[in-house]
Structure 1
Amino acid sequence: MKIAKSYTLAEFLDWTRRKIYILLLLATVPATLYQVFGLTWIAAPWSVAVLLGTATSFIVGFKNAQTYQRTLEAQQVWSSITATSRYWGLICRMFPTTRAMSAVLIHRHLAWLTVLRHQLRQSRVWESANSPANAEYRRKHFLVPEHETTLDADLHAHLSEAERQQVASAANKGLMLIELQSETLRDLYARQELVVLHHTELQKTIKEFLDQQSRVERIKNFPYPRQYATINSLFVWCFAAVLPFCLVREFDRLNDSVSGLFAGHMVWLSVPFSVLVGWMYLSLDQVGESTENPFEGGANDVPMAHMCRVIETELSTMLGESDLPAAPTPKNAIVL
């Protein structure tokens, strides 16, 4: 997540430069054919650009609104996870009869948070984090914590060797940890170390964690509909390709009112203006693409590692532990 005031224009230009190169080629070819080779018949009516641009604007706006909603929902779920985790820490400190059992329940929950963020960082074929532009930006500007360490290494502080092996063999590691929590509570209740009301409240909170895990897994495993993503890209690139053919004649007409050095050469101005307009549409498309998967490891992701570190610090403080984890430091104003 970017925590600076804004991205700079230089960052945007560098991030989108590959598409700028393509736009430059798409704009130069029609201008050259029109001006140098005299193929004036290639000019398309301006109404074509207007109609196509209007349709493209609607579909790009629709996509960006939907992808923002996905990111917003992801932020809301992780905010709920944070709030429920604090409540879990409080009731685990108050309900179990021994301090050691409170520590087990809290550290196993911290392990669940660790497993969850590692699961959500796993790549999917539809995600764009490994596209050339996004991968290059990541190498230059920030690190993904889950890519810098292994899950097993992160679990050492929270689970025993036997539990780590049990989690490692599970298909859904987060679900396995929730199952272990529920089994522990059942055993505590069977030994009468929990009264029925406390047992019920703890199990109810576990159900909330299960619901929250299912919500983030849905966002992770169900992408923005591919049919909309495909038609969006097709519309944008069609508009970018057709626009220069519509602009060459419009700029050629300016020759009637221009004298001096630019007389007879106004067609070449269609190149920068075609690139500029096309860049605006393609940048919006690229922004929407980089927003639709909020757990993929991009610069605009939900800062799961940061939030988990905050939760870990707060719950460890509740246990009276002094060896608190260090606060994550943003790199280039990006924190994940």
Structure 2
Amino acid sequence: MLPSRGVVFETGSYGDPAATNQRDYWRVAFQLVKRAKFDLGMLVLMSAVLIPLDIHLKDWLLSTKAVAVLGIAMSIFIGFRNTQAISRWWEARTLWGSVVNKSRCWADGLRGLLSKQQWQSARTQHLVQLQVAIAWQLNFELRNFWHPDLQLMRQQLLHQLALPVNSTVRSLSAQRAMAIQQLAEEQWISERGRIHLLEISDAMTDAVGGLERIRNTPIPPPYDLFVRVINWVFGTQLLLSFESQGSPITGILLFFGFLIAERIGAYVEGPFDQDGSSFSMPLNTICVGISEDLMPSELDYGRYRPSRNPVFWN
């Protein structure tokens, strides 16, 4: 039943759902222009050279039917590429969702399996901190890039765990596995509890492997080259065709539209980019969420403050 008019609703402290506001559209446009500056520069140069020249268009232009067929093919290729790019991005986000959930399960599992005294022990708290360290290390390894204050926070966390600064996701995961073995050997947990914690650890390993696959396997270079070349061929034909009809500006704008559409797909294919734009994933924000779930208010992020705005959320 819908609430009646005039009812005043209270606002919680959880923040609004992430969304792009219309006033931020210019920021998205700026990010696109910044990323595609080389392509846009080439478009401007090509337009400046071809439009003023008195060339014999019939020697350059394809037939109208050929241009139409090329346009259909271009739309299919761009649509397919963008669909695959979004699929890669969404799979990465789903896997990071699994990292978040399994991190919570790790802490909840320890709390449920151990006694109150054991849960409050420094040993158990180190196991919780270890999971947080794994999440941050995975963030940095996927991007090969970090905010200086977050890197300092990570070093301090590893120092608390008495682990080397050059620890990797693999070495930290091995530490987690050995910790599970020690809990079982010292009878802090039962065999069933050991299996439960190992299942959480295995699920984390699966998520890490999936994220590394996405990071290390770009779209096949021949396909990338083919789509980009055919896009420029089609765009050039559009430009010349509308120039022959006395509407060069229309040709430039259409060329610009196809160029940007193709470039968006190329940018979204890399969900772990370094520039913190809306093309990449909110890895820092996700890791802050994991940290606050497992270690509320214990970590100092320095000057870094997470944002829920998808335009600049990294």
The alpha carbon displacement at 1:31 in A equals 3.3
Q: Quick check: which has more Rg, 1 or 2?
A: 1
RMSD over aligned CA atoms reads 2.6
Residue 22 (str. 1) matches residue 22 (str. 2): no
Q: Structure 2 unaligned segments of length 5 or more: list them.
A: 1-17
Which aligned runs of 4 or more in structure 1 are off by greater than 6 angstroms? none
Mapped partners of 1:208, 1:273: distance in 2: 53
Residue 286 (str. 1) matches residue 263 (str. 2): yes
CA 1:3 to 1:148, structure 2 compared with 1: closer, same or farther past 3 Å?
Answer: farther
Cα deviation 1:172-209 (Å, max 9, x = unaligned): x1111111111111112111122111111111111111
Q: 1:46 aligns with which of 61, 64, 88?
A: 64
The alpha carbon displacement at 1:161 in A equals 6.7
What corresponds to 2:21 in structure 1?
5
Mapped partners of 1:43, 1:212: distance in 2: 51
Residue 334 (str. 1) matches residue 300 (str. 2): no
Mapped partners of 1:325, 1:162: distance in 2: 18
Mapped partners of 2:58, 2:233: distance in 1: 20
The question of whether the paired residues in 1 share the 8 Å contact of 2:98 and 2:204 is answered with no
Q: Letter of the aligned partner of 1:82 in structure 2?
A: V
Mapped partners of 1:14, 1:296: distance in 2: 16
Residue 148 (str. 1) matches residue 127 (str. 2): no
Mapped partners of 1:40, 1:276: distance in 2: 20
Mapped partners of 1:107, 1:87: distance in 2: 14
- Residues 145-184 of structure 1 mapped to structure 2, 5 A cutoff: 146-149=146-149, 151=151, 153-160=153-160, 162-165=162-165, 168=166, 173-184=168-179
CA 1:10 to 1:194, structure 2 compared with 1: closer, same or farther past 3 Å?
Answer: closer
What corresponds to 2:92 in structure 1?
74
- Residues 288-327 of structure 1 mapped to structure 2, 5 A cutoff: 288-298=265-275, 299=277, 300-317=279-296, 323=298, 325=300
Range with greater deviation from structure 2 (294-303 or 322-331): 322-331
Secondary structure of 2:227's aligned partner = helix
CA 1:10 to 1:72, structure 2 compared with 1: closer, same or farther past 3 Å?
Answer: closer
The question of whether the paired residues in 1 share the 8 Å contact of 2:153 and 2:299 is answered with no
Mapped partners of 2:83, 2:93: distance in 1: 15
Residue 276 (str. 1) matches residue 268 (str. 2): no
Mapped partners of 1:306, 1:314: distance in 2: 12
Secondary structure of 1:334's aligned partner = coil
The question of whether the paired residues in 2 share the 8 Å contact of 1:111 and 1:159 is answered with no
Cα deviation 1:181-238 (Å, max 9, x = unaligned): 1111111211112211111111111111111110101111111222211111111111
- State the TM-score, normalized to the length of structure 1: 0.76
CA 1:13 to 1:181, structure 2 compared with 1: closer, same or farther past 3 Å?
Answer: closer
The alpha carbon displacement at 1:158 in A equals 4.5
- Larger relative contact order (C-alpha < 8 A, sep ≥ 6)? 1
Aligned residues: 283
Q: Structure 1 unaligned segments of length 5 or more: list them.
A: 123-143, 252-266
Mapped partners of 2:152, 2:29: distance in 1: 39
Mapped partners of 2:197, 2:44: distance in 1: 61
